[in-house]
Chains A and B, each alone.
Chain A
């Protein structure tokens, strides 16, 4: 734990002690720590301790050309990189007045939903592992790999795709690509009963998750909670539907909600969302072949590209919640300021500290993972 986050307990009573969760812990994707004070099994206080993955992306971006930043942004959220690329590109496009060709918009949606499925599969696995079930974790990671194969074929990179660029995307689809996407969707869909049997209808898991880490809708709104965590408190808010970007307004999908606001509700929302993503992708696979045209709007020489003076706020719905970029241009060839409004910062710090306090020690990891926070995005 970093010194600034550590205050030693003076003369602790014998039944009070401190436990360090992390920074290497399966309860969260990446290096992140939680220091909890325990009274017996019960958590009496918690202190989130991030910063292990701080790379200073927002500052770094100020020193790089508009286009160079496309190589940085996917690193902000490793398990779900596409929304980072798309959201940054949307910001640049809004500043520069670029019209993204329709085909590129459809390709972006395809990637966004593939990335969401991959992220959710990853989360399922991790979430199961926090209750001691390791098989869903292996399954989740193995099935996610099939989506990474698709990304590799499309973009040349499995995790850091660096495929979206201001103006559109960098490559058209390879020959026969949509067929392979479709096959992968079939496979993942066929796997859902397996996951249900092992995890979502597994009473061990259901009972471990139910009633744990409850947050009310009011709290969620106060704390700035978004995404599945918010929808698990009964509020059907989804940027894709309520502030549509790209071609989401042309697609049919539902916004799943749960009412309970506990870890189980959050898990169920993700499980339902995965199915909606499959539904969206089926529509994309059917429509994309009909949409011809360029995949990128012409952009100037990236070495001599000034964006007009101004600022812009663009947002997308990532697997973790609402992701937004606030970008300020002073008229130059680099951003004057970039702020990443990531969903995980709230979820992993304020919300987590609240929810963990009063919980039992064995539920801490479960609560952490049910919030699906992404430490590299918290730290940036």
Chain B
């Protein structure tokens, strides 16, 4: 199993960090591992639904780039504060879905369920870290990361609705 923000080990790694840049580096590595996970998965699924896995990989790459760029900025903290002024809120739409085990031949619905579950866990964990960290730049960064994961989850939920509930057509 890869190491990502949804594992206990991942959380433990974050708790030890004391600077914004260090935290962002770890968060970035989570995105990279997610990207690699989807990239590995893509050739294993049916070509019919491969677009979905590829899109997920591309999305993780986009997050990877976003965090990487952020880490390079000198006005890092101001940026984050601006972002968390309007945090995304969870819709809970997908929370009642089973988190599937992706077997050998997952279908598109399973892949999406899995991806939403991952984002959900990340959202929760970053949220917990924010709650347990004293106010300050680091707490803000966790809030920011939680909000980013929530946004991603919301996007996936819309896609899920379209695919599964709205006539579908696939």
**Chains A and B touch each other in the complex, with CB atoms below 8 Å apart:** no
